[in-house]
Amino acid sequence: MNENIAKFAVVGHPNKGKSSIVSTLSHNESIRISSQSGTTKKSTGFHVDNNNCGYKLIDTPGFQRPRKVLTWLKQKASSAEMRSKAVADFVDDLQCQRDFPDEVELLKPLVDGAAILYVVDGSRPYGPEYEAEMEILRWSGQPSMALINPIENTSHVEPWKNALEQYFKMVRVFNPMDAEFTKQIDLLKAFAMLKPSWAEHLEQVMSDLNDKRQQQKRNSAIILSRLVEDLCFYQESQKVLTEDQAEIVKPLLEKKYYNWMIKREQKAIDQLLANYKHSQTKLSIDELSLPPDLFDCEKWYLWGLSKNQLATVSAMVGAAVGASVDLAVAGASFMAGAIGGGVLGFTGAWLGADKLASFDIKGLPLDGFEVSYGPISNKNFPYVIIGRFIYLYQQISERNHAKREALEIETKELHQQIANLEKSSQKLLHQSCEKLVKHRDIDIEKLQQTLLLLL
Ligand SMILES: Nc1nc2c(ncn2[C@@H]2O[C@H](COP(=O)(O)OP(=O)(O)OP(=O)(O)O)[C@@H](O)[C@H]2O)c(=O)[nH]1
Ligand SMILES: [Mg+2]
């Protein structure tokens, strides 16, 4: 690794969120975070890597006996120019390594040239007991800034600012649990000001991080478009000898079909989690606290569109594709036939909404039969899939890596999100969905582009 790379040691009292900050900034969910004080025992570097260009964050244990350490240092350095050397001597001293293992561990990266990110808790009052550790950090001579982490609330942020500004040129409030991506980039901008020789490099890191974020969004649209295409076209079939056998395999086929569909959706969710480096976030469709199950038509409208919305959609694309009406809506289309394409779409929409897929039994040319189930013919189906996915996308893409609790589930109105798109994009989306449930070829790239606008 390039030794001139920008590196920052995250230091402070035990249990103030140092590891949480490293986890969020390095997008690494495997770093140990715990409510127990003294969780981090060793200094560990985490490389934030983007296209070979990156920087390093070093997670460290908390100060345990800063006053005693300061006393030791003061005996070694009688004037200011000797201080950084005293800190280096402290790290190398065998007796200190035995007596002050945490301080040796946390000061080592500073002696090796890391800048200091000093973390405090803005929900707890300031006290002079912090002064010894701030003094030690100053002695190291490294560039430094302070981060106030408002763990429970912001009630003591102001007094902390007043105290910290006397020791640190830069003081920022940063909450690793909910600081969104732009706030993370803002913090990096502040890092870039710490040491002029790192600035250009860190600018490049920020630009790479932004590119990567865009790429993750594009990947999400690709994952979703493939999912919706696969689900809409899927068919399960089985060869049998007699029509009686065909009746027997029907329920098995249906079960296999739904199992496949559920697995396929789960696979897309896993891909989405991996895309945002959240593979350890356990989430399965069954664990979602909110209904509906993917195939519970009654509750679908939470995710997809309501019957009325679906009807409007069908009217919108009906003019273009209304001419072809599938068998499921043949009865209704007969009645509405004289009125025009828009109305045909309208009728088909709500008729189809209670029906997902159907069986087909075909005689085979040589012998026997083929029973099949699917593909899907329900018009709401693609919207349900898109709605569910977008909902999870919003949760996962905004989730900081320090967050370890379960995803909180709430419903989002897909209809509103679609309504925010430009009319031409709305139409394109509806036309694609219509084609998907009619199993016609779709332009997958166009669908991806439209889905990207929804993300
Ligand atoms: N609600 C909330 N909890 C936080 C925040 N930051 C840290 N915590 C919690 O505080 C505890 C300590 O966080 P860590 O990141 O492990 O703290 P640390 O400073 O690395 O602790 P040590 O390694 O023990 O020195 C954990 O339970 C975190 O979940 C925050 O901003 N908000
Ligand atoms: Mg820690």
Q: 122: Cβ below 6 Å to ligand 1?
A: no
Q: How far is CA 390 from CA 384, 434, 443, 452, in A?
A: 10, 19, 20, 10
Query: Does pLDDT of 325 surpass 70?
Result: no
Q: 401: Cβ below 6 Å to ligand 1?
A: no
Q: Could you count the other beta carbons within 10 Å of the beta carbon of residue 178?
A: 12
Q: What pLDDT sits at residue 304?
A: 61
Query: Does pLDDT of 351 surpass 60?
Result: no
Tens digit of each residue's pLDDT (9 = 90 or more) over 258-271: 888 878 888 998 99
Q: What pLDDT sits at residue 410?
A: 55
Tens digit of each residue's pLDDT (9 = 90 or more) over 432-445: 988 998 888 989 99
| Whether the bond into 375 is cis, omega within 30 of 0 | yes
What is the number of alpha carbons within 13 Å of residue 196 lying toward its C-beta? 0
Residues near ligand 2 ion, CB 5 Å cutoff: 18-19, 39-40
Amino acid of residue 317: V
Q: Report the distance separating Cα 249 and Cα 237, nearest Å.
A: 10
Q: What value, to the nearest 5°, has the Cα angle with vertex 20 and ends 15 and 24?
A: 170
Q: 197: Cβ below 6 Å to ligand 1?
A: no
SS3 148: strand
Domain layout of the chain by residue ranges: 7-194, 211-454
| Rounded distance from Cα 174 to ligand 1 centre (Å) | 13
Number of residues that this document lists for the chain: 455
Q: Quick one: CA dihedral 25, 30, 31, 36, positive or negative?
A: positive
Q: What pLDDT sits at residue 345?
A: 27
Tens digit of each residue's pLDDT (9 = 90 or more) over 156-168: 999 999 999 999 9
Tens digit of each residue's pLDDT (9 = 90 or more) over 392-405: 898 899 999 999 88
Q: 16: Cβ below 6 Å to ligand 1?
A: yes
Q: What is the rounded average pLDDT of the residues 410-429?
A: 80
**What pTM does this model have?**
0.83
Q: Report the distance separating Cα 6 and Cα 113, nearest Å.
A: 9
Query: Does pLDDT of 181 surpass 60?
Result: yes
Q: Which residue has the higher pLDDT, 235 or 265?
A: 235
Confidence of residue 283 (pLDDT cuts 50, 70, 90): low
Query: Does pLDDT of 185 surpass 90?
Result: yes
Q: 403: Cβ below 6 Å to ligand 1?
A: no
Among protein residues, the one whose CA lies closest to atom 3 of ligand 1: 151
Out of 3.50.50.60, 3.20.20.150, 3.40.1160.10, 3.40.50.300, select the CATH number for domain 7-194: 3.40.50.300
Tens digit of each residue's pLDDT (9 = 90 or more) over 187-231: 999 999 999 999 999 999 999 999 999 999 999 999 999 999 999
Q: What pLDDT sits at residue 416?
A: 78
